[in-house]
Structure 1
Amino acid sequence: MNKTLEETKSAKILIEYLGDSSKVVKETVIKILSSSKIKHQMAITSLSSKKQAVRESAVKVLLKSSDEKVLEALNKALEVEKNEKIKALIRDALNLESDLEENNEELDILKYCKQGLKGNKAATIRWLNCDTLTKVKFKDSETYAESEIIKYMLVCYASCIEIGLSSEALKVGELLNKKDLSKLALEVLQRWLDAGAESKKKWVLPFASVYGDYEVISLLKKNIEEWPKNSRGAIASEAVRALALNGGNEALIIVDNISRKFKFKQVKNAAASALKFAAEQMGIDIEELSDRIVPNLGFDVRGERIFDYGDRKFIASLTPELTLEITDESGKKLKSLPAPAKKDDEVKAKEASAEFKNLKKQLKTVANIQAIRLEMALSSNRKWTKESWIRLFVENPIMHKFAIGLVWGIYKDAVLTDSFRYMEDGSFNTKDEEEYELEDGMVIGIVHPIELNNEDMALWKEQFENYEIKQPFEQLNREIFNVTEEEKKRNTVERFGGTILNGLSLLGKLTDFGWIRGAIGDGGGYYAFYKEDNNHKVEVGLNFSGVSVGYESEEVTVYDLCFYKLGTMSKYAYINVKTQKQNTISIDTLPERFFSEILYQVSRALVSKTGNNDKWREEK
């Protein structure tokens, strides 16, 4: 009895937070209230709240309840609820289909949308001047959809509190022309941006992302990169979440890249969260998702793509450097895709020309992102099964070009047992240029030079030079860092100590490698950078003389490098010596590749050094 009373009391308190402005708080409350029948019944009254956020949270609490009182309350709520997103949630809870799903063929879509616009709901989108927006045809038709249909789709998104999909709008969108919708999405996004990109109208982001094509993706990417520089990290984070809703490979690759390598932690974390959600929906891990979303950009297995002008056709072929080589049907090389001529089919030629321009942008973006991702795979010791390696690096024409520029290894119990090269013709070679065969069950990774002896390294370098193979990033010539005996004794790395450089340069280069600045103390100053590694459960700290946020362009002095238990140091601006010692990890316990890569990143971050401070130990 006491337990029930306590549960009731705690539920009463928690219900007050169903409409909290903090997403984390709200999600935590929903999770707790979803855990028992008593709490479910306590949440029923919140279904009639005047606040949309509270009603939405209450429905989420009751989503999986089978209690008769709850189901009855949800049915009553559905009858009076006006918000389309909440109505969709209630239908999910009751396992009901909307009128759109039940009677798709018989339903009068115009009448349905007009009904959904009643009560002056279109007032929320008045700023868009909807009647001047791009017209949208019905699918497989030359008839344009009435403005009320488009307005209803916009209102569906405008009624959403958080970034997400609108099931109602998606159903309506299925009846419309995709190309027209993508033009509309771009226009809506551009009008929002031109009007100052108000966060209150952030619903534009998911609408534009869901229906937009590569132009929308590119525009979102550009603004995601710019907003945090102007203290708009929150809207940039929302845009990243929206971008993931696009579902296309190009969009997800950009989100993936942001999650790995972005200067602003808030946006980076939002991207990681969006990817994690997408991976969970597919039942795979994030790395596998990252592999699956690599696009082929329309190229066949030979790395060729045809552009049809009607009477003339042109072939764009991928070069080893991932540039485009153009030939006509006779095999004659051309400098670029020619301009449409009078004898060409006007529509086909125009479309082919536009597609080619987009392809060049897409190829550059994908190539840059995959080069970064593969170097990170080298650094983090990422592995593939033989089957997943072939699917990614042999069957995908873009990744095929990367694969032929690297030395690959066979690993058993995380130890390199053999190395090979993937040839342009699809065969495999050893360091001695003998044919090699991949066997089932093999585990494959990118070889790190620290794993190769001098003889093997020399043979691989000679082979790559003889075949004039340019590597996509430094692999064989990568600088190696080994732990010294002195470093083992003191458990700190001081070999970079005393280096003087511009603080902004240090910040920029380290964040490019996935480091984050330390906690900010009094006066806005911070005195360390951290790199968190979940695989090794290690947190690396680079200590320096310190700089204040917004004044990073001052010169700073680098001190030392320390290794700690994951999650113990980066959160605190001031740490006492005792705590530091308790959480320090012995350097000689670190894997060789991991240690070398951390120092490689720091070394690369210090290339713009301006001097040396011999008295750094005294100043520390």
Structure 2
Amino acid sequence: MKISDLITEIKQSYYISDKIADDISEFVFNQEQSAIYSGSKDHFAGFYIRNIIRELKSVDDDALYIQRFLAALLSSASNFDWLEAVDIDELIAFYPDFYTLLGNNTEEILDKVFTLDEWDDIKKAFFKLSKISFPEQEVSDFLQHDKHKSEGFYNYSHHLYLKLYLQPKMREAYDKKDCAEFDAIFREYFIACLQDHNKKIHNRRDKFNGALYRTALPQEAFDRFVALFDGTGNWETDLEFVASQLATDKDRYSSSEKEEFTLLHDEEFKELIHFILDLDLFHRFGDSKYVYNFSKIILGLDIKTWIDQLRFFSSYNYCAFKNANTLMEELDDAIKLYPALQTSFIQYLMNYISQHYHCCLRNYETPKAEHFTNNPHLQLLKLLCERFGATNIWDWYYNDNPTKPECDIIHGLLAQISDAPELSERKDLFDQALLRKYIPRITKKEQDNDALLHFILTGENADRVAKVALDNSNIKYLSWLSQPYLERLATVFFNGKNNKLVVDFVDNAANEYQSNPLRQLSNVAIKYPQCEASYMKGLIGYTQNINKQCKLDIDSKVCYYEGIYYPEIMSKTELAYLQQHNIPCVKHIAAGSASVKALLLICLKGTITDHDQAILLIDMLKEKQKGLNANLQACISSLPDALKQAVRSTIAEQLEDFSGQKEINAVECLCQGSLNEETALDLLNKVSETQSRTLLIQHGNINFVHLYKTADGRFDLAAYLAESYQAPKKLPVSEEILNLIETKDGSNGYEAAIQLLQVYQHHEAFVPSSEGEAILSQITEDSLDSFMCYLISQYADSITAKNRWLLTIPALHASINTVKLLMPLIERWANGSKHQLAAHLIKQMGGSGLTQVYMGLDRLSRNTKKQSVKEAIQEAFAIGASQKGITKGELGDSLVDNIGFVDNTIPLSYCGQDFALILNKELKFSIRKPDRKIVKSLPKPKFDDDAQAAAAVSKHFTDLKKMLKDMVTLQTHRLEDAFVVWRQWQYDKWAELFLANPVMNKLASQLVWGIYEQNTLTQTFTVNPAVITVDDEALDIAPNSHIGLVHPSELTAEQLAEWLDYFADWEISVLFDQLSRPMLTLTPTEKDPLAYVPNLTFRKSPSTVINRLRKKGWAIGSVRDAGSFDELYKEIDEGELGIEITFDEAVWHGGYGYESDESDIAIDKIEFYQAGALPRGSYCYAELDEPEYKKLKKDIEQLPLRLVQELVREAVNGYQ
């Protein structure tokens, strides 16, 4: 590659304008240009410059050109974002003095760094430029310069001198084990922090006034603080005084209301704490008084931070631990080191349990009910109680615990695991104190306070509070109240007077740390019938709150709510439980709004066992909301067989009484069961809606030709229209279009056209309607073709999701002319905002059975970037193959067109002479003239030839050349795909495809084929033009033999050499690299023997990898949080095998295509698995590593070597 090639690439990119590319070219190659670039500038991403610099590794050109190119490229950027993006070592290798573009001295150069907006970018760029080796004192002076400050404080959220200068110096001293140097830097760092640190916990950068956000310790406090650090202060008084002078602030990201010292949250001071409070550092610099005193200071200011940073309890893992015994061992070790701090260590663990208990309920791959009763947090609490006593644990937690969390669940957990009488008494007193505090706050009338409290505590005088009206449900720790207290309180909330509060009450009273959070409340509704209606309102509202977070759907299983994974939707569990106790849940839900019914039907699915409740579902069929109807149909389908039959029988009996949407939904329900033609015909007489008729005809396989038959066996269109036609209130299309239809008997096709449109208006299937086909059987082909083409041209530009049915007829009954109109439309939609419409139309065209459709779709599948479109094309091929009763591969074979060959030539009559088209070695047309001479183009017509006829033949020749080119391109791709997936043909079908067709014969002659018996190669051969061996000998092949493309791994070295010599002798270019496939090595990962990594280290940009592989049939894995994904996969239909590659970085679709945190991605692992069994989709979190899906994984040792090699090679090639 030359620099000129790189500039051409830049010009073709949309990141940089053509003008800049031209100016760069002029600067590089015009030696008369000044040494300083003065061309155009623009704002473009730093990563793009980085990628260009990496391309220079492939450039072989004059060093001066390279340097001038870099000078122009870097100077053309109107900002300095590239400073943080590029690899400085690579840049220096090509242009050692590149920094002269930034400035003439250290200050000017570093000033450019601080023009960047983000702190992380500034830091990256600063440390990258440090490789230039600026004079140390100049860097120090620059970072301490007043231009970075206002009123003596830095205008950044960081202390520049500490962050960028002293921190690295201190680490260098640590690495050198130089205690004296370390102490000196440590003391300077500590003092500088006290003089300039964050005023708020969450600080921000202010370019103009750092004093707004940063502060210094008052002088006296500063002196006493430094004295403590130096070991000359008074520990009994100075530390307390310093603490009183430190700035405090509330952490807005913390649940605690307590104010904390901002110094401990200052970025540089936090890093100092993290660095110093390290046991390894203690051992290395054990004699340092500063290290000892600093540790003592942090212990006195914030013991939690001290324990955290010294990592006494290192077995915590992502907010949750897995082994309580390990933590107890760590506790013992900590107490041995600091016996006086035993209570503090235990308080630390208890505080952790209280704050992070929910974490242990979201860290399971598969949540189960037993996790709520037996998890590491509870195990730790039990071990602490066994060792120290439950009452001591209670006392230590609730007495003199300076860091006790605001959110306290320890009282409830201790009561749950301990049966000590004294603890039960304490819990009861705790609850009573809580109720005495909050009851006055929730009642509307003060006079109700005493009676309500007395009832809740004793259960007496229930009638006095039966109608009490409450004001709110804000009782702290409500869900942890003892059962009698919560039950009595619930009866008041569910008394019918407080329905506005029941949703909040149910939400607050739900014990989120139980697998069935609402069970206590459900028992109240079962025990007290008067509470049933109000509780159901609360349960419905609770479910709506869950849906706001989880977005429930009919297939939802596990539920993630308020930071916890539940094994099932909590509302579903309770509805099943309530129905087991004869609560009529369907009745209550049916009284709700459409949105309520749609949501609660998700939870009802699979729970209904009562006949009367099941029958109540029928009334919901009247609803028009699509989501509701889908959930209702799923709910009915999930009923036990006897109940399902009862519901459908009742629907069939009442169908005549239904109308509108209720009738349509009812018919849809009936169609989900088994429906024969006789039953469908009976139901057809009971319905009046067109959509109902369409459904019954489609699912009942009604043959209209049998119903309306003339004496000669044809479809009686007139009789059918006389009985079925109903004039619409409004014409679906213009009369001009309707009048285009002509019937075969010559009668007016106007009514037939309207009926045809009405049949397809609600036809959602991707195969033609039997009713529509019956009508079309009596319509002339030419009029139908005109009708369909007119529909497309008239309505294509105004198609939406609502009127897309207008293109259903041209799609399902496609002709060559409609394909010419539809394919450009689909291609435009596929790459734009209408890609979902394109996908729908593609699937409909798949049902047309037309060869030209599949050829166009195959070409589109290799060019489109939209996953939905690629998937739709695959589905279209599956639909077409199913209709023909063949495989998708066989359907692909049928795309081979003869394009007019007679034997090995295409006759061409031109200007009164007989020419012939023949194939040459390059698989292009040559022309054989009447005198047998071979030429490339047709001669010009003579003056007395028919010019118009000659032009028509010339155009035909041009069309044939395009058809040939498209065919060769398509079939070459298909043959390489067949090679990769190891497709095999039966010989008779193979011969029909590759021997009878001249084009395919030529393609086949450029490949090595083999005969396989039970997947073992027994004989090799090629085509020239008949079947021959490598020795040019004819070969007879049995009709039932299996034929496939040979892989070099199946050949001996001698066989491979013979075939390479054969192609060389005949001067034949192999169609693709069939015989040169270097073996790839896969190594199992340490964690998983069924996950592999290739012995390659290629990295590429996400866009390059994804776009390359998607053209090869790979698909993007499940898209998850923030639209990110980290997998690509490919599944092979014939072998039921899938391959999945996982990236080492998450990827998302951004403004510059596919992006990731790192500019390039690599393969983290490769896995093979059973195709079609791993769920995928948006926000689908199924992984092959999960226990449920691990069984799908395949061992490559048990798979065909060639298949593994080729699928991995395809993946790896995406990175090369």
Report the TM-score range of the alignment, normalised by the length of the smaller protein.
0.7 to 0.9
2:1209 aligned with 1:600: yes
Partner AA of 1:86 in structure 2: T
Give the drift of 1:267.
2.9
2:1001 aligned with 1:375: no
Give the drift of 1:328.
4.8
Equivalent-residue separation in structure 2 for 1:600 and 1:312 (angstroms):
52
CA contact (8 A) 2:861 2:870 kept: yes
Equivalent-residue separation in structure 1 for 2:626 and 2:955 (angstroms):
44
For 1:615, the equivalent position in structure 2 comes to none
CA contact (8 A) 1:308 1:348 kept: no
Equivalent-residue separation in structure 1 for 2:649 and 2:941 (angstroms):
68
For 2:873, the equivalent position in structure 1 comes to 271
Equivalent-residue separation in structure 2 for 1:91 and 1:489 (angstroms):
48
CA RMSD of aligned residues (A): 4.6
For 1:459, the equivalent position in structure 2 comes to 1058
Give the drift of 1:391.
1.9
Return closer, same or farther for 1:5/1:28 CA change in 2, 3 Å cut-off: closer
CA contact (8 A) 2:1084 2:1093 kept: no
Equivalent residue for 1:560, pick from 1164, 1169, 1172: 1164
Return closer, same or farther for 1:121/1:340 CA change in 2, 3 Å cut-off: farther
Give the drift of 1:365.
3.1
Give the drift of 1:98.
7.5
Partner AA of 1:556 in structure 2: D
For 2:1073, the equivalent position in structure 1 comes to 474
Give the drift of 1:304.
2.8
2:1146 aligned with 1:543: no
Map 1:513-592 → 2, pairs under 5 A: 513-533=1112-1132, 535=1135, 537-551=1137-1151, 552-554=1153-1155, 555-566=1159-1170, 567-568=1173-1174, 585-592=1194-1201
The 10-residue stretch of structure 1 (412-421 or 540-549) with the greater mean CA deviation from structure 2: 540-549
**Secondary structure of 2:1099's aligned partner:** strand
Give the drift of 1:444.
1.2
**Secondary structure of 1:435's aligned partner:** coil
Partner AA of 2:927 in structure 1: I
Deviations 1:487-521 (A, max 9, x none): 99795214334x33222111101111222223223
Return closer, same or farther for 1:441/1:132 CA change in 2, 3 Å cut-off: closer
Deviations 1:39-61 (A, max 9, x none): 54233245744138536625634
**Secondary structure of 2:1206's aligned partner:** helix
Equivalent residue for 1:450, pick from 1035, 1049, 1064: 1049
For 1:324, the equivalent position in structure 2 comes to 925
- The answer for unaligned runs of 5 or more in structure 1 is 608-620
Equivalent residue for 1:75, pick from 663, 682, 685: 685
Equivalent residue for 1:217, pick from 806, 810, 819: 819
Give the drift of 1:452.
1.8
2:736 aligned with 1:131: yes
Deviations 1:228-261 (A, max 9, x none): 4324332122111121132122213444666799
Equivalent residue for 1:160, pick from 763, 787, 800: 763
Give the drift of 1:112.
4.5
Partner AA of 2:685 in structure 1: N
Deviations 1:372-397 (A, max 9, x none): 22111111111112222112211233
Equivalent-residue separation in structure 2 for 1:115 and 1:194 (angstroms):
32
For 2:793, the equivalent position in structure 1 comes to 190
Equivalent residue for 2:1096, pick from 493, 496, 515: 496
CA contact (8 A) 1:136 1:144 kept: no
Equivalent-residue separation in structure 2 for 1:454 and 1:412 (angstroms):
21
Return closer, same or farther for 1:88/1:260 CA change in 2, 3 Å cut-off: farther
Equivalent-residue separation in structure 1 for 2:1012 and 2:1122 (angstroms):
50
Name the structure with the higher strand share. Answer: 1
**Secondary structure of 1:500's aligned partner:** coil
2:646 aligned with 1:43: no
Equivalent-residue separation in structure 2 for 1:85 and 1:307 (angstroms):
52
**Secondary structure of 2:831's aligned partner:** helix
Give the drift of 1:532.
3.3
CA contact (8 A) 2:705 2:714 kept: no
Return closer, same or farther for 1:88/1:354 CA change in 2, 3 Å cut-off: farther
Equivalent-residue separation in structure 1 for 2:775 and 2:985 (angstroms):
41
CA contact (8 A) 1:131 1:147 kept: no
Equivalent residue for 2:727, pick from 98, 104, 118: 118
CA contact (8 A) 1:309 1:344 kept: no
Partner AA of 1:462 in structure 2: D
Equivalent-residue separation in structure 2 for 1:295 and 1:256 (angstroms):
14
Map 1:231-246 → 2, pairs under 5 A: 231-246=833-848
Return closer, same or farther for 1:121/1:60 CA change in 2, 3 Å cut-off: farther
CA contact (8 A) 2:768 2:848 kept: no
**Secondary structure of 1:367's aligned partner:** helix
For 1:417, the equivalent position in structure 2 comes to 1018
- The answer for unaligned runs of 5 or more in structure 2 is 1-579, 581-607
Give the drift of 1:7.
7.0
**Secondary structure of 1:236's aligned partner:** helix
Q: Which has the higher contact order (CA 8 A, sep 6+)?
A: 1
**Secondary structure of 2:879's aligned partner:** helix
**Secondary structure of 2:1021's aligned partner:** strand
Equivalent-residue separation in structure 2 for 1:575 and 1:595 (angstroms):
21
2:64 aligned with 1:64: no
CA contact (8 A) 1:310 1:345 kept: yes
Equivalent-residue separation in structure 2 for 1:349 and 1:138 (angstroms):
37
**Secondary structure of 2:967's aligned partner:** helix
CA contact (8 A) 1:482 1:595 kept: no
Equivalent-residue separation in structure 2 for 1:455 and 1:150 (angstroms):
68
The 10-residue stretch of structure 1 (173-182 or 130-139) with the greater mean CA deviation from structure 2: 130-139
CA contact (8 A) 2:704 2:770 kept: no
CA contact (8 A) 1:492 1:563 kept: yes
For 1:399, the equivalent position in structure 2 comes to 1000
For 1:362, the equivalent position in structure 2 comes to 963
**Secondary structure of 1:470's aligned partner:** coil
Return closer, same or farther for 1:573/1:504 CA change in 2, 3 Å cut-off: farther
Equivalent-residue separation in structure 2 for 1:107 and 1:62 (angstroms):
31
Equivalent-residue separation in structure 2 for 1:174 and 1:342 (angstroms):
48
The 10-residue stretch of structure 1 (563-572 or 456-465) with the greater mean CA deviation from structure 2: 563-572
Give the drift of 1:545.
1.8
Partner AA of 1:64 in structure 2: L
Equivalent-residue separation in structure 1 for 2:1055 and 2:884 (angstroms):
41
Equivalent-residue separation in structure 2 for 1:339 and 1:14 (angstroms):
77
Equivalent residue for 1:249, pick from 834, 851, 858: 851
Equivalent-residue separation in structure 1 for 2:989 and 2:719 (angstroms):
48
Equivalent-residue separation in structure 1 for 2:952 and 2:723 (angstroms):
35
Return closer, same or farther for 1:210/1:455 CA change in 2, 3 Å cut-off: same
Deviations 1:174-221 (A, max 9, x none): 4444345334423322332223x3222222333223454334324433
Equivalent-residue separation in structure 2 for 1:121 and 1:484 (angstroms):
68
Q: Which has the larger radius of gyration?
A: 2
CA contact (8 A) 1:257 1:373 kept: no
Return closer, same or farther for 1:157/1:595 CA change in 2, 3 Å cut-off: same
CA contact (8 A) 1:134 1:183 kept: no
Work out the percentage of aligned pairs sharing the same amino acid.
23
**Secondary structure of 1:560's aligned partner:** strand
Return closer, same or farther for 1:436/1:486 CA change in 2, 3 Å cut-off: farther
**Secondary structure of 2:1043's aligned partner:** strand
Equivalent-residue separation in structure 1 for 2:775 and 2:943 (angstroms):
40
Return closer, same or farther for 1:395/1:405 CA change in 2, 3 Å cut-off: same
CA contact (8 A) 1:386 1:439 kept: yes
**Secondary structure of 2:686's aligned partner:** helix
Give the drift of 1:71.
5.5
Return closer, same or farther for 1:592/1:576 CA change in 2, 3 Å cut-off: closer
Equivalent-residue separation in structure 2 for 1:276 and 1:217 (angstroms):
19
Return closer, same or farther for 1:114/1:352 CA change in 2, 3 Å cut-off: farther
Give the drift of 1:415.
1.6
TM-score, with length taken from structure 2? 0.43
